[in-house]
């Protein structure tokens, strides 16, 4: 398995780097055009969040970390957590749909055909469907940690690649309603998002507890693997479960507490600040198939 990972590293590194650079250049172009209209529409923190999100993806798929996860379940868990709780929310914080599609669409793609496609319309409707997004995130986490799919990903580099993509996509779906709640003018959606995050932590806690307190090795492939740390396979599994338990608790519950505090704030209940209001109007134009005034 190590030779397979090294072989994948030899071609994933340039592919991931080239793809990331291409996306960053396209995003930067759209960001500059939006910033030319109003600085409020393209704050620096959005492009910083987007680039950091892509960097987190690169760490998972093309850095040296990607070649050692077959030797340690803890490293494997770190990769999954990076994709779902770091890369996905950071990419969404950069508002890639608004910046990429609305910023440069008329020069590079047929915007009307894209926005009118069934896939794009379905994605636009799904972003506010809490149950669908909750199941997408939860299924991605629980499904790939079942013994059969997990062992398949350990033995097949293609299944392993599909696994990484699945975690990133599941993370994007899961965090999409949370990103939408930030631009909500009312407190109602914020309360539902706080409950949404709290309920999402429960399945992860159950999986973490099973890995920590199960007293048996769940994934046999680590028995024959050369160990990365001075830990037995069972100890490594317990460490991975504890890491997931703590990481997910903070990643899900801290945003829930922040959202509740914002919902309780009188200033947030009454009105949007000018910067957020400008961004909400731009996002609304994107959803309603109207061109923003970008010159």
Contact 254, 228 (CB under 8 A): no
Residue 292 within any structural domain of the chain: no
pLDDT at 37: 73
Q: How much is the average pLDDT of 274-281?
A: 53
pLDDT at 290: 46
DSSP letter at 257 equals H
Residue 293 within any structural domain of the chain: no
pLDDT at 2: 47
pLDDT greater at residue 66 or residue 3: 66
Q: Is the pLDDT of residue 1 over 50?
A: no
> pLDDT by residue (tens digit) across 221-261?
888 777 777 788 899 999 999 999 999 999 998 988 888 88
Q: Is the pLDDT of residue 203 over 50?
A: yes
Mean pLDDT estimate for the chain: 77
Residue 6 within any structural domain of the chain: yes
Contact 31, 102 (CB under 8 A): no
Q: How many CB atoms lie within 10 A of CB 197?
A: 24
Tokens of 194: 């706080």
pLDDT greater at residue 197 or residue 130: 197
Q: How confident is the model at residue 157 (pLDDT cuts 50, 70, 90)?
A: confident
Q: What percent of the chain has pLDDT over 70?
A: 70
Closest CA to 18 of 79, 82, 61: 61
Residue 106 within any structural domain of the chain: yes
Q: Is the pLDDT of residue 273 over 60?
A: no
Contact 126, 97 (CB under 8 A): no
Domain containing 78: what range? 2-287
Sequence-separated (6 or more) residues with CB below 8 Å from residue 219: 73, 147, 150, 151, 154, 237
Q: Is the pLDDT of residue 105 over 60?
A: no
Contact 168, 57 (CB under 8 A): yes
CA distance 88 to 171: 5
pLDDT at 113: 53
Tokens of 277: 């209001």
Overall number of domains in the chain: 1
* Longest CA pairwise span in the chain (Å): 62
Following CA atoms 208, 213, 214, 219 in sequence, which dihedral angle do they give, to the nearest 10 degrees? 50
> pLDDT by residue (tens digit) across 57-66?
989 888 888 7
pLDDT at 24: 80
Return the minimum-mean-pLDDT range out of 135-149, 150-164, 266-280: 266-280
């Amino acid at each position: 398995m190590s030779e397979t990972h090294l072989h994948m590293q030899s071609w994933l590194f340039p592919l991931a780097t080239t793809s990331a650079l291409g996306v960053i250049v396209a995003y930067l172009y759209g960001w500059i055009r939006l910033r030319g209209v109003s600085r409020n529409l393209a704050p620096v923190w959005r492009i910083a969040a987007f680039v950091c999100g892509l960097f987190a993806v690169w760490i998972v798929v093309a850095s040296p970390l990607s070649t050692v996860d077959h030797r340690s379940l803890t490293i494997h868990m770190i990769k999954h957590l990076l994709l779902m709780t770091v890369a996905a929310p950071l990419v969404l914080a950069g508002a890639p749909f608004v910046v990429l599609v609305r910023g440069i669409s008329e020069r590079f793609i047929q915007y009307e055909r894209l926005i009118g496609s069934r896939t794009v319309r379905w994605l636009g409707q799904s972003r506010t469907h809490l149950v669908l997004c909750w199941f997408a995130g939860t299924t991605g986490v629980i499904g790939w940690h079942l013994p059969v799919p997990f062992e398949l990903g350990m033995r097949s580099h293609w299944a392993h690649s599909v696994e990484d993509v699945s975690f990133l996509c599941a993370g994007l779906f899961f965090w999409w309603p949370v990103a939408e709640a930030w631009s909500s003018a009312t407190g109602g959606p914020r309360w539902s998002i706080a409950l949404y995050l709290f309920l999402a932590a429960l399945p992860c806690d159950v999986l973490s507890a099973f890995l920590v307190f199960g007293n048996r090795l769940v994934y046999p492939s680590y028995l024959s693997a050369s160990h990365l740390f001075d830990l037995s396979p069972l100890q490594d599994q317990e460490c991975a479960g504890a890491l997931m338990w703590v990481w997910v608790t903070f990643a899900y519950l801290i945003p829930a507490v922040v959202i509740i505090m914002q919902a309780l704030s009188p200033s947030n209940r009454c009105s949007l600040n000018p910067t957020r209001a400008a961004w909400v109007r731009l996002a609304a134009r994107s959803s309603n198939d109207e061109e923003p005034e970008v010159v």
